[in-house]
Structures are given as structure tokens and as C-alpha cells.
Structure 1
């Protein structure tokens, strides 16, 4: 029996797609390979596939695109840059509606900063009604289209932060939407932000997953490694957790109380006193129970670091 060329081509297409997926999964553990496509606007609504059970809450409809906010008509700006100028002007003048309209135009034109700003606004309800699904859509678009942005650049920092935001959404899911809790996808997001973009918040969150064995096996050494990388970049929560790890010691992490107290002191200095009171409390508890010699040695280490930092040439 002869097999037509069309049939052979179809089989190769199917097998090729499957092999590509296997290759991506295999590479994930070896290097900074972009994660698999993020659930976004192309996904069908869950209700279209599964009949909802009686009494189940209805799911929020997925917009046609991340910028599908239609409460305000889009103004025909001449360009994304023109829209950004209008956003700055309207924001300064207190015209929030005009500012949002300008941002949405720029975002629809692919302006990365506008997309990220809108994602943050919808996530926090800043100037717009809080809408986690809209925020997720904006962050997804950024990550899907810019995963190969150059680390260390302004765009790279934006994309890294978008991956971190997606990791947070995958940790908890978004109630009433197709975004379900998925710890494996959260691990993917944090790992990519941490390893490829070097994002300090991503490194901290990845360290937490290793500490708790979420999305991966529990590994105190890996947790300490990522916490240290984040702490060295000044991220206060990572400084506090890394200091606590050294203070207590853990499997594969030798106890170093003086270094632990030093990192806790640095964490307290950089902590937000309103939002990060747990860091201040952890620092105060650690110092109140430490020996006088350990406290003195830790403070001496901090002083030496400050002197060395003051003498370092400015770049």
C-alpha cells in the first residue's frame, strides 16, 4: 500500500512538534531556555471544553488581547512615543482617564514599558479597577514576546520582572478565571527570571521554592545559593532569609552566626519599615539572643564593608 506524500508530511509535522516539546523539557534543567508558552489570550475558555457543574461560579471571559480595555475609546495618537508623552502630560495634570487611554494605545503598539506599567496598575488597582486577569494578560504578552531580551538592559529588567509577576500568579492562580494554581509553572517563571535575567526578586522566590520543596525537591544548598545571589544585590527579604539560614544552619549549609547577624543587619537597614516589619522583628530577635562576641564581630564586619564601599571607585 502506497502512502501519499500528504500523509507523510502530516505525520512528520506531528512528530516534529512532539520532539520539539521533549527537547524543550530536556533543556530546561541545563540552561536558560525560555519556558513553554504561557497560557494567555489564545487559550479557549475552560467552559468551552468542560460543562460547568451546577452552582459553579462563572468564569471571567478572556479578552481578545491584553490591551482589550474598551471602557475608554483609543485616541489616534501619531505613534507610541507620542502616546507616552501624552501619558506623562496627563499624569502630571491629574487626568487619569487620559493617562490610561494613552498607555493603552502605546501598549497596543507594542511599547514594552506601557505594557508593564498597565500590568502593574491593574495588579495593584492604581488608577484603574484592580483586575488580576488583565494584569496577567499584560505580563504574559511581555514574557511571550520578549523572553530573549538582553539581561542587564532596561528592557531585560522589565521582562525579568514580568516573569516574576507571572510566577506569583501561578503560585495562587486567579479566582474565577482560567489561570489555575500551578506550582510547576511558577517554578519555571521564577527560575527563568533568576537564571537568565538575574532578577533579585526572582532569585529570592526561587530560593523559597527550594527551601520548601515546591515545584522541585527540597534543597537547602540551592536555596542558600539563590538567596545569597539576591542578597548581594540588596534585596532585603533575601538578606533576611539568608542571614537566618546562616544563623541557624541547615542541611548542607554550615552554621555561621556572625555572617548571619551581618546579613540580618544589612536586611534591617534596607527594609521598608511599613511593609517589611517581619525583617525588623527577625533582626531584633536574632541580636537579642546572640552572644556579645558574635554581635561585636558582626558589627565589625558591617563597618569594614561600609568603609570598603566608601573607598571603592565610582563608576
Structure 2
């Protein structure tokens, strides 16, 4: 039976070109007071404090030294900085390579270890990139592998974002056969962790139950959508609002009243037939 590390390594090897993390970085800042001979933890701490002060180039240099010495938090932060153009020029391919390195270098068989959060985030980031591809790079759209990456992060790490994205892919048949019932189970797990997107989409599916072949739960569905809309950020509200307005428009007055009562109390009615997937 393939081990946990073996599964993640196989995913990483199949995703795209495997290149080293340290290449293509910015030139060293001669004025930065970074001691490259310091230990990885000291360098990470130095970089973290510099980042908090807004000294991002100095932070980058310290984090890069720490990453070269194997500090997983430093590697992860470098990947995020490249992905977001935070203090460095945005470079999704550099971010991809760093996240890939994090996945390849982890050595635990169960996922229950101190670096699990970094590895989980890296796996999800790789899935995101494989889902959309990276322009002008060897990383092309690969929906089946994106779905596989999300599954690993969702199942081994219980990552809420991965559970949500896996649910969406299963619902829409992206990267493989559609399975609405399984989609609902993964969305339910993510919603239980407070993921507003999962809460909204699951609420929409539960409202009439047809798509996921379950009995309708209109009160629960409308309450979930309304609570998700209330809690969501601006970007999520753009797609949640039309779903909430659609269900509200066809709901009976009694359903609206009951749903609003749950929203006012910030609680949900008891769950129906959605069966939780194993975490």
C-alpha cells in the first residue's frame, strides 16, 4: 500500500517540472542586516519581524536563507510572497516550485505533525495552479490532477478550502465524473469548519434537494445561504447574493419566517440526510 509520503510525492512528480526553490530569486540587498550564517529559526524570526515592520526586501532575504536551510515556514511564506506579489514581483511559477518543494520534502506518514499546515496549504496551492494553469510556464491546466490534489488536502489534512473546491469539482464534473452526493458531503465538512462558500453552496443544494437527490430542506437551505451572505467578504458576496435571492424569491412566507428566525439566533436547524465524508 502506498504511504502518505509516497502519494504526495507521486502527485508532486506528476504535476510539472521539478526545479529547485532557490533559483530566480532577487539579488541580495547589500544594506540588509541579515546574517546568512545564522540558524534557520533565527533567520525565520528575523525575516518575520522585518516583514511585520514593512521591510519586505530584508524579510525576503532572511526568509530565503532560512528556506535554503530547510525551514518550512520560511519556504511557505516565500511562496505566498511570490504568489501575491507581496514585496517581490509576482511570479506564480516561482511560487509553484516552492510549494512543490514543500510537498516533496515532507517526511511524515500520517499528516499529524507540526508542519502539516504548511504542507496542506502547499498542496491546495498546487491544486489551484493546476486547475487554471500558469501562463508562459510548463504548468498547464490539468483538471484530473487538480482534483486529486484537492482530495489529498481534503482527506489527509481536513483542509476546508480543499473540501470546498473538491465539492465544486465533484458537483460540476470537473476533472472526472460528477458526483453531487459526494460533493454535498465534502461541502458539509467544509461548512462545519466555517467556510462561507461551502455553507452557501450547500444551502443552495439543500433548498430543493433535487441536484443531490435528497429530500428538500428549504428552511435550512435558506438559513444557510442567508447566514453565509451575511458573513462573506465582498468577493464571495458577488456570487452568493444571486443564489440567496433566487431561493428567497421562491420560498414560501412560512419558510422565509422560519429561516430568518434561525439567522437571528445564529443557529441552524438540525441537519438532515447529508452524510459527512470521512475527514
Contact in 1 for aligned 2:15/2:130 (Cα 8 Å)? no
2:26 is equivalent to residue 34 of structure 1: no
Cα RMSD for the two superposed structures = 2.9
Select the residue among 225, 241, 244 that pairs with 1:283: 244
Contact in 1 for aligned 2:15/2:139 (Cα 8 Å)? no
Q: Counterparts of 1:46-125 in structure 2 under 5 Å?
A: 65-73=20-28, 75-125=35-85
Between the aligned partners of 1:77 and 1:217, the Cα distance in structure 2 is 52
Instruction: List gaps (5 residues or longer) in structure 2.
Output: 29-33, 270-279
Q: Counterparts of 1:128-277 in structure 2 under 5 Å?
A: 128-146=88-106, 148=108, 151=111, 155-249=115-209, 250-277=211-238
TM-score (norm 1): 0.74
Contact in 2 for aligned 1:149/1:155 (Cα 8 Å)? no
Q: Which has the larger radius of gyration?
A: 1
Between the aligned partners of 1:254 and 1:247, the Cα distance in structure 2 is 9
Contact in 2 for aligned 1:171/1:181 (Cα 8 Å)? yes
Deviation (angstroms), 1:278: 1.7
The alignment of Structure 1 onto Structure 2 pairs a total of residues equal to 262
Between the aligned partners of 2:71 and 2:204, the Cα distance in structure 1 is 41
The runs of at least 4 aligned residues of structure 1 exceeding 6 Å deviation read none
Between the aligned partners of 2:113 and 2:136, the Cα distance in structure 1 is 36
Between the aligned partners of 1:35 and 1:224, the Cα distance in structure 2 is 29
Instruction: List gaps (5 residues or longer) in structure 1.
Output: 1-22, 45-63, 309-315
SS in 2 for 1:38: helix
More divergent stretch after superposition (257-266 vs 277-286):
277-286
Q: CA, structure 1 residues 242+133, in 2 after alignment: closer, same or farther (shift >3 Å)?
A: same
